[in-house]
Amino acid sequence: MRFDSTSGREAELAEYIAKKYKPAEAGLEIQNTESGRLNVFFKWGEPKVVFCSHLDTVPPYIPPSRENDIIRGRGSCDAKGQLAYLFEACRQLHVDGFNNFGMLMVSGEEDGSQGAKTANPTLKDVEFIFIGEPTENKLIKASKGNISINFSIKGKSCHSGYPQSGDNAIERMLSFIKKLESENFGSDEVLGSTTYNIGMLESRNAHNVVPDLVTFKLFLRTTFISHEKVIMQLNKLTDDKTDMKVLYEHVPMNFLTVEGFDTGIVSYGTDAPSFTNIKNKILYGPGNILDAHTEHEFIKTGDLHKAVEDIKIIYKKIINDN
């Protein structure tokens, strides 16, 4: 956590882990993404099961601190805490005599899953993948999908004392948002409603000039019933002054669960949809998603230890059942 691995800055952390933490009995594979980011893959034998979480974090970087059983700072629960418990589970499983599994640490989960998409073609013989994300030590049954869209809305600039001479791009944006708020994406019986937020909002006009351009990113969290129709519905809300470009999307997911564990539903996306070569996906981890991406992000060491024991039990159960 002392490394700032904000999305796009994962390389130094990846190299550090590969050098310092490679188990003597495990193989090492470094994977390069198209954008130059790195994945780290430790392999015990020929992996049929992969444990996976991500190296990158959202901004801003927050240095780590510890008080009793609480670890604070960026990545404590999303997702460096996930990497820590999965690594320890792998270490203990190998001590217990198990083999043919791997620990995959990927880049870019927070901004498009570049690392997962790079790793996916190499995982053709993998039967199960454990995705580490903060789930409050519950096995997750389903998660929402997401779609990231870049919008550019044009207008015409003019002196702000004479707004009637121009075409205010921000007013056009507000009109679009008003239509978006009235749009019905339906209610899913499992995942509920489709939600969205706007980020990276920018209009670089001077304070006394009517803006001729505004750009922003729209991020939607989609459901089983909405994902395939969202883009078509949004297209109907735009006009010839609006440019809409889909940056990436992840479909909603169903996950594998086993008896004996609390279960839940989550409204966030993960790398799981990018692992199309793996049929069985399991989503589990310590920490609370409501603490992730916040200035008070933290994780409890007791929850980390519980996660290690839980994941070993789940692993042994799926291995014995298959």
- Whole-prediction pTM value? 0.90
Residue 251 near residue 191 (C-beta atoms within 8 A):
no
Delimit the domains of the chain by residue range. Answer: 11-142+253-321, 145-250
What's the CATH fold of domain 11-142+253-321? Aminopeptidase (3.40.630)
Give first-to-last CA distance, the chain, whole Å: 37
**Each residue of 59-113: pLDDT tens digit?**
999 999 999 999 999 999 999 999 999 999 999 999 999 999 999 999 999 998 9
* Pair of tokens at residue 228: 């395939």
Work out the average pLDDT over 114-121.
97
- Shared fold status for 11-142+253-321 and 145-250: no
**Each residue of 186-203: pLDDT tens digit?**
999 999 999 999 999 999
- Please tell me what DSSP assigns to residue 50: E
**pLDDT value at 321 more than 90:** no
Q: Which residues contact 259 (CB under 8 A, 6 or more apart)?
A: none
Written in H, E and C, the secondary structure of 90-111 is HHHHHHCCCCCEEEEEECCHHH
Q: How many CA atoms are closer than 13 Å to the CA of 4, on its beta-carbon side? A: 6
Work out the average pLDDT over 276-283.
97
Nearest to 50 by CA among 292, 297, 293, 274: 274
When the candidates are 3.30.1360.70, 3.40.50.300, 3.30.2130.30, 3.30.70.360, the CATH number that belongs to 145-250 is 3.30.70.360
**Each residue of 25-69: pLDDT tens digit?**
999 999 999 889 999 999 999 999 999 999 999 999 999 999 999
**Each residue of 131-174: pLDDT tens digit?**
999 999 999 999 999 999 999 999 999 999 999 999 999 999 99
* Pair of tokens at residue 96: 């217990």
Reduced to 3 states (helix: H, G, I; strand: E, B; else coil), residue 263 is strand
CA distance 283 to 255: 7
